[in-house]
Amino acid sequence: MITLTHLYILAGLFFAAVAVFSAIDPSNPKRFRTAVFWGLLAISFLFGSLIGDLANGLLALGLAVLATWGLGQGKARTTSTDERRASAEKRGNLLFLPALIIPAIALLGTLAAQNTPIGAALMEQKNATLISLILGVVIALAVIMIWLKPPLISPLQEGRRLIDAVGWAAILPQMLASLGAVFLAAGVGDQVGKLFADYIPLDSRLAAVAAYCIGMALFTIFMGNAFAAFPVMTAAVGLPIIVMQFGGDPATVCAIGMLAGFCGTLMTPMAANFNVVPANLLELPDRKAALNGVIRAQIPTALPLLAVNIVLMLVLAFPK
Amino acid sequence: MLVLLGIAVVVFGFLVRANPLLVVMSAAIVTGLAAAWTPAADLQTMWQAGVDTLALFGKAFNDSRFISLVWLVLIAIGLLERCGLQERARMVIAKIPAATAAGVMWVYFVMRQILSALGLTSLGGHAQMVRPLVAPMAEGAAEAKHGPLPDRERYLIRSHAAAADNIGLFFGEDIFIAIGSILLMVGFLEQNGISVSPLQLSVWAIPTAIAAFLIHSLRLWLLDRHLKRTLGAVPAEAPQ
C-alpha cells in the first residue's frame, strides 16, 4: 500500500538532487547557500519524523535565515527557444496530453480509492488525492521519457530549473500552516473572535457569514496573503460560530471563505507578486502608487465577487 | 490580548517587505513568548517558552510536509517545457483571430481559468505570458481597430491584461484538488479535528469560479465598449 511516507522519500530524493546539482553549478552565484537550503528541505522530507520537534523547528529556522540571506538561481541545462519551437511544431497539440495525464490520474485515483476495492488496497484512503497526484506525475514522466526520449538526467535538471525559479516561496504555504498551529495553541483565533464578538453582533447567520467573508478579505488586504488570514479568521469566526453554532458545513465554509480572501488579494499592494510585479513588468507609470493600475482594474471585479461569496456561503453551507 | 502581537509582526513584516519566511518565523516566536508572558516571568521562563514554541513550530512543520509534495509536479512540467509546451500554448493563442483588445484578454482569461482548474497553473503568469504575449496582442488589436493609442488607454489595457491573469488564476486554481490553498485548508481542519478530503473542498470552489467568470466577462465586455466610445473607429487611411 502506498502511503505519504513513500511520497516523502520521493520528494526528499528530488530535493537532495536539486541540492547536489546546485552545489556543482558554477553559474549560480550563491550556489552553496542554495544547495544548503534544498539540502535542509531534503533532510526534512527524508528524516523529519526521526529527528524530533526541536530539531525540526531549528531546521525551519535555518530555512528562513537562508532565504533571508538570499538564494541564487542556477542555469540548468535545457533546450533553446528555437529547439522548443521546432519541437512544438513537430508534436502539435499532442504535447498537452502528458500535462493532462496528471490531473486526470489525480481525479481518477481519488475516486478509485473511495469506490473500488483495488484502489482502496493500493493507497491510503485518507491521502488518496495526493498519492494519485504523484502517481500521475510518475506516469506522465514515463510517457514523456518513452515518447520524446529526452536525456535521462533531464527530469531532475528541468525540475531544478523550475523549483529554482519558485525559490524559497516554495515552502511559504507550509510555513504559514505551521504558524497557524502556533496561533491555534496560543489562542490567537479566540482573541480575534472575542474582538469580533465584542464589537460586532454575530447573532444571525447573515451577520456571521458576512463578518467571516469580509474579515477574510480585510485580513488578506493587511497581511497580503489569504493563506495567512485563513487560519486566524477561520479559528475566530468560521469554525466556532458558522460551523459550531449555526451548523454550517465545514468544507463549504472553508472553501468559500478562502475565495473571499482571494478577493482581498486582488485589492492589496501587499500581494506584491500578483499586483506590483506585473505593474513593474508592464512599465505602468503609476506602479509605485498604493492603488496602481492593476489593482484599480481588479477592484470592480473583486467587490461584487466578495458579495457573491457571501450569498453563496449563505445558500450552500446550510443544507436542509 | 498580548498574543495579537504576532499578527502585528506579520503586518509590520509585510509593510517593510522583509522576507516572508523570516516574518512567519518571527511572528510564531513572538506569539509564543507573548502567550507565556506574565509580569512575574523571569528570563529562564521566557527562554523555555521560546524553545517550546520552536519545537511546536517544528512539529507542525513536519506534520505539514504534505503541502510541499505538490512541487514534484514541476519535474513533469519542466520536462514538457523542454519539449516546447509553452511555445505550443502560444501558437494556439496566436491562431485565434484577435478581434478586439478585450476579446484577446477574454480568451486568455478563460484559458487561464480552465488550465488552472486542471492544476496547470505554471502555464501562464505575468513574466511568462502577460508581458511577452497577452498585453502586446491586446494593444495590437486595439491599435488595429482604433489607430494609435493614447497613453491612458494603453496603460488601461496593460493593467487589464495583468488582471485577467490574476483573476483567472485565483478563481480557477482552487478547483484543482492538490493546490497549496486546498492542502492548507485540509491541514488546518485536521489540526482542529475535522477530517475532509481535498475533493470535498475543491467542488465548493466551482460556484465562485462560475461567478468570477461571469463578472469578469461582463467587465471585459464593458472595457471594449469603453474603448470604442472613447477612441472611435480607426481613422480612414489616407489614399495612397
3-state secondary structure chain A: CECHHHHHHHHHHHHHHHHHHHHCCCCCCCHHHHHHHHHHHHHHHHHCCCCCHHHHHHHHHHHHHHHHHCCCCCCCCCCCHHHHHHHHHHHHHHHHHHHHHHHHHHHHHHHHHHHCHHHHHHECHHHHHHHHHHHHHHHHHHHHHHHHCCCCCHHHHHHHHHHHHHHHHHHHHHHHHHHHHHHHHHCHHHHHHHHHHHHCCCCCHHHHHHHHHHHHHHHHHHHCCHHHHHHHHHHHHHHHHHHHHCCCCHHHHHHHHHHHHHHHHCCCCCCHHHHCHHHHHCCCCCCCCCCCHHHHHHHHHHHHHHHHHHHHHHHHCCCC
Contact B57 A55 (CB under 8 A): no
**Mean pLDDT, residues B25-35:** 94
- Judging contacts by C-beta atoms under 8 Å, the chain B residues touching residue A180 are 60, 184, 187-188, 191
pTM score, two decimals? 0.79
Q: What is the pLDDT of residue B239?
A: 41
pLDDT at B237 over 50: no
Nearest to A57 by CA among B56, B24, B20: B56
pLDDT tens-digit map of A56-83? 999 999 999 999 998 888 887 788 888 9
Which of A:98-157 have CB within 8 Å of B? 98-100, 102-103, 106-107, 110, 126-130, 133-134, 137, 140-141, 144, 148, 150, 154-157
Tell whether A257 and A206 lie within a shared domain.
Answer: yes
Q: What is the pLDDT of residue A168?
A: 85
Contact B78 A102 (CB under 8 A): no
pLDDT at A3 over 80: yes
- Say if A76 falls within a structural domain: no
**Taking a C-beta distance cutoff of 8 angstroms, is the pair B78, A141 a contact?**
no
> Pick from A150, A177, A209: which residue ends a domain?
A150
Q: What is the pLDDT of residue B238?
A: 42
Q: What is the pLDDT of residue B27?
A: 93
- Judging contacts by C-beta atoms under 8 Å, the chain A residues touching residue B25 are 60-61, 64, 175
Contact A134 B196 (CB under 8 A): no
pLDDT tens-digit map of A222-250? 777 888 889 889 988 999 999 999 999 99
**Taking a C-beta distance cutoff of 8 angstroms, is the pair B197, B205 a contact?**
no
Burial class from Cβ neighbours inside 10 Å (0-12, 13-18, 19+) for residue A24 reads: exposed
DSSP letter for B2, please: G
Tell whether A54 and A85 lie within a shared domain.
Answer: no
Range of weakest confidence among B29-33, B68-72, B102-106: B68-72
Contact B204 A284 (CB under 8 A): no
**Mean pLDDT, residues B154-170:** 96
Provide the mean pLDDT of chain A.
89
- Judging contacts by C-beta atoms under 8 Å, the chain B residues touching residue A174 are 61, 64-65, 67-68
**Taking a C-beta distance cutoff of 8 angstroms, is the pair A72, A65 a contact?**
no
Instruction: For B205-235, give one letter per residue: b (16+ CB within 10 A) or e.
Output: bebbbebbbebbeebbeebbeebeeebeeee
A57, A161, A296: residue with CB nearest B54: A57
The pair phi, psi for residue B40, each rounded to 5°, is: -90, -10
Q: What is the pLDDT of residue B94?
A: 66
Contact A59 B174 (CB under 8 A): no
Q: What is the pLDDT of residue B52?
A: 95
Q: What is the pLDDT of residue B235?
A: 53
Which of A:159-178 have CB within 8 Å of B? 159, 161-163, 166, 168-178
**Mean pLDDT, residues A263-286:** 86
Tell whether A246 and A202 lie within a shared domain.
Answer: yes
- The answer to whether the Cα torsion of A119, B73, B182, B4 is positive or negative is positive
> Hey, which residues does A2 pair with through a beta bridge?
A123
Establish how many alpha carbons lie within 13 A of residue B199's alpha carbon, considering only the half-sphere containing its beta carbon: 18
- Say if A246 falls within a structural domain: yes
- Say if A165 falls within a structural domain: no
Mutation target vs A (from B72, B149, B215; most A CBs, 10 A cutoff): B72
pLDDT tens-digit map of A128-145? 888 988 999 999 999 999
A48, A157, A301: residue with CB nearest B219: A301
Tell whether A145 and A261 lie within a shared domain.
Answer: no
Contact B82 A78 (CB under 8 A): yes
Tell whether A247 and A191 lie within a shared domain.
Answer: yes
Tell whether A146 and A262 lie within a shared domain.
Answer: no
Whole domain around residue A206: which residue ranges?
187-316
Range of weakest confidence among A56-70, B115-129, B163-177: B115-129
Nearest to B132 by CA among B114, B158, B169, B113: B158
The residue assigned the cell 493507497 is A123
Single-letter amino acid, residue B196: V
| Interchain CB contacts (distance < 8 Å): A and B | 436
- Judging contacts by C-beta atoms under 8 Å, the chain A residues touching residue B204 are 251-252, 255-256, 316
Q: What is the pLDDT of residue B97?
A: 63
Could you tell me the pLDDT band of residue B3, with boundaries at 50, 70 and 90? confident
Provide the mean pLDDT of chain B.
86
Tell whether A120 and A214 lie within a shared domain.
Answer: no
Tell whether A134 and A229 lie within a shared domain.
Answer: no
Percentage of residues of chain A with pLDDT beyond 70? 100
- Say if A74 falls within a structural domain: no
Could you tell me the pLDDT band of residue A187, with boundaries at 50, 70 and 90? confident
pLDDT at B198 over 80: yes
Q: Is A40 on the interface with B (CB under 8 A)?
A: no
- Say if A197 falls within a structural domain: yes
pLDDT tens-digit map of A165-185? 778 878 887 888 888 889 888
- Say if A211 falls within a structural domain: yes
CA distance B239 to chain A (A): 35
pLDDT tens-digit map of A109-120? 888 888 889 888
Domain count, chain A: 3
Mutation target vs B (from A178, A209, A274, A309; most B CBs, 10 A cutoff): A178
State which residue of chain B sits closest to A95, comparing Cα positions.
B85
Q: What is the pLDDT of residue B240?
A: 42
CA distance B98 to chain A (A): 20
d(CA A89, CA B90): 11
A44, A87, A169: residue with CB nearest B84: A87
Q: What is the pLDDT of residue B98?
A: 59
Contact B200 A251 (CB under 8 A): yes
Q: Is B12 on the interface with A (CB under 8 A)?
A: no
Contact B14 A93 (CB under 8 A): no
d(CA B135, CA B119): 24
pLDDT tens-digit map of B57-100? 999 999 989 888 888 888 988 898 888 887 887 777 667 665 78
pLDDT at B212 over 70: yes
Tell whether A47 and A145 lie within a shared domain.
Answer: no
Contact B62 A56 (CB under 8 A): yes
Mutation target vs B (from A175, A196, A277; most B CBs, 10 A cutoff): A175
- The answer to whether the Cα torsion of B33, B37, B40, B45 is positive or negative is negative
Q: What is the pLDDT of residue A35?
A: 95
DSSP letter for B127, please: I
Which of B:39-78 have CB within 8 Å of A? 51, 53-78
Percentage of residues of chain B with pLDDT beyond 90? 43
Tell whether A61 and A92 lie within a shared domain.
Answer: no
pLDDT at B34 over 90: yes
- Say if A229 falls within a structural domain: yes
Q: What is the pLDDT of residue B236?
A: 46
Tell whether A233 and A274 lie within a shared domain.
Answer: yes
Whole-complex ipTM: 0.84
Contact A84 B76 (CB under 8 A): no
- Say if A171 falls within a structural domain: no
pLDDT tens-digit map of A31-58? 999 999 999 999 999 999 999 999 999 9
Which residues lie closer than 8 Å to A155 by C-beta, 6 or more apart?
A141, A145, B75, B76, B78, B79
Tell whether A25 and A87 lie within a shared domain.
Answer: no
Percentage of residues of chain A with pLDDT beyond 90? 48
**Mean pLDDT, residues B175-183:** 83
